[in-house]
Amino acid sequence: MTEFGICSDKGRLREGNEDSYGSLAAMNLFVLSDGMGGLECGEVASRVAVDTILAHAREAGENPALPLKGPRIEGISDAANRLASALRLANDAVRVAAAERAAENGMGATVVAVQFDGSRVSIAHVGDSRAYRLRDDDFEQLTHDHSFIGEQVRLGHMTDAQASASAMKNILLRALGVDAAVDVEVSDGQILEGDTFLLCSDGLTNELSEAQIAAVLSETEDPQEAAERLVNLANEAGGSDNITAMVLRPIPRPVGVLGKLGRWLKV
């Protein structure tokens, strides 16, 4: 069971919204995608990406023996491998959609997907749409931006402050729909009682600091209210891009007597 809230807005400067999102609440699966290539192309790319990922997950839920798209990645869970498979299929689907619109300027999308299973979380992403976790007072980015600036920061060639001010922060190194094969980054982690997760497009993080985002998540009990507050604050700060926020509060399954007492097992 996951409590969640979602808010998406075109921002103050864009003509339309190229962000898309979707969920399979029964499977605790949540997906966010940020389209590229101009209004029509970007909107199509992100919607195709989200729909493809959800369709693959739904099909795998009905048929666990469904083959994976691409190689199995060792050292990660079956759930994370299934997410990687779904994102690879989304890459193919966006490429097909782009080929059908060859007269346009091209299209692509970033994407981040999260699935909760008991006390575990699996994350898969491509591009610079992000996943965060707030645990007590610790607000941590769980994904790495597949961007030129993100790479420079990881290599120690640029500080976070320099990255925020750089005119090159929109240059991506990976995206769905660009190449025939896409390198999907996946991870597994542990869920603890009280954890809050955030999926967001860069329209949020370009306007708000991590401290501002963490404060809203910490102060706001209702996930829907938190998502709406984040988007409103990003618009107030400039709203230069589309803004989407998905606030997720997974509830670990109670186990044994501890569960009956209203406590949660932490493993």
State the pTM of this model. 0.89
How many secondary structure helices (H) and strands (E) does the chain include? 8, 10
User: Rounded distance, CA 179 to CA 13, Å?
Assistant: 30
What confidence score (pLDDT) does residue 260 get? 30
Structural domain spans, the chain: 2-260
- Could you tell me which residues come within 8 angstroms of residue 167 by beta carbon, excluding any fewer than 6 positions away? none
What confidence score (pLDDT) does residue 65 get? 96
Q: Would you identify the CATH topology of the domain 2-260?
A: Phosphatase 2c; domain 1 (3.60.40)
Q: For 40-77, b where at least 16 C-beta lie within 10 A, e where not — what string?
A: ebbbbbbbbbbbbbbbbbeebeeeeeeebbbeeeeebb
What confidence score (pLDDT) does residue 168 get? 63
What confidence score (pLDDT) does residue 153 get? 66
Closest listed residue to residue 172, CA positions, set 150, 141, 187, 152: 150
What confidence score (pLDDT) does residue 261 get? 29
User: Rounded distance, CA 170 to CA 202, Å?
Assistant: 9
Q: For the chain, 267 residues long, give each residue's pLDDT as a single digit of tens.
A: 899 999 999 999 999 999 999 999 999 999 999 999 876 789 999 999 999 999 999 999 999 999 999 999 999 999 999 999 999 999 999 999 999 887 566 799 999 999 999 999 999 999 999 999 999 999 999 999 997 666 666 667 677 676 666 666 667 899 999 999 999 999 999 999 999 999 999 999 999 999 999 999 999 999 999 999 999 999 999 999 999 999 999 975 444 433 332 222 222
Strands (E), the chain: 2-9, 19-24, 29-36, 108-117, 120-126, 130-135, 138-141, 185-190, 196-200, 243-250
Give 118's Cβ-side CA count (13 Å radius). Answer: 7
